[in-house]
């Protein structure tokens, strides 16, 4: 309770010194920077380079099983976003993890969940498998091998 009161007091002091719009801007910039530090966004080209250069990279497709079977990256493991929390124990918190979905929305959510649970090397492939395909990169269809 005391820590909460101190936090509120600090916020009031900052707002009174710099104004509400500046305080809001600083707040949003801080959290945007924190997101970048803990869950780095990567392009499909960067993701491809990561996959080719790091054989121990864990690739997680958080799409539904049906979407995964339509098209997924070679070597990807399907853990639908809805199952991620219950399957967290199967993952190594210190491994580099590349997360993607069909278009990038669910993978951003998954990255947040992973980072919140202590995973330290999490990468979100922007645009998902759709962007991967649009870049001309190969995909696998069907169930994982």
Would you name the residues annotated as active-site residues? 101
Task: Write the CA distances from 34 to 40, 73, 108, 141, integer angstroms.
Answer: 10, 28, 14, 36
**What are 59's strand-pairing partners?**
98
Which residues are CB-contacts of 55 (< 8 A; sequence separation ≥ 6)? none
Query: Tokens representing 46?
Result: 């960067």
Helix (H, G, I), strand (E, B), or coil: what is residue 35? helix
Residue 94 CA to residue 117 CA, distance in Å, equals: 12
Number of helical H runs and strand E runs in the chain: 7, 5
Question: Residue 9 is encoded by which pair of tokens?
Answer: 């007091």
Which residues are within 8 A (CB) of 117 and not within 5 positions of it... i.e. 6 or more apart?
A: 88, 93
């Amino acid at each position: 309770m005391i820590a909460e009161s101190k936090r509120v007091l600090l916020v009031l002091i900052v707002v009174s010194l710099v104004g509400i719009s500046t305080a809001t801007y600083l707040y949003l910039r801080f959290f945007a920077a924190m997101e970048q530090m803990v869950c780095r966004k990567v392009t499909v080209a960067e993701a491809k380079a990561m996959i080719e250069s790091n054989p121990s990279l864990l690739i997680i497709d958080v799409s539904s099983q049906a979407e995964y079977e339509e098209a997924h990256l070679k070597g990807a493991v399907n853990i639908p976003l809805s199952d991620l929390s219950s399957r967290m124990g199967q993952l190594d918190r210190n491994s580099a993890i590349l997360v993607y979905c069909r278009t990038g929305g669910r993978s951003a959510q998954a990255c947040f969940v992973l980072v919140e649970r202590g995973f330290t090397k999490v990468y979100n492939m922007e645009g998902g498998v759709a962007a991967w395909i649009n870049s001309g990169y190969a995909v696998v269809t069907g169930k994982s091998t």
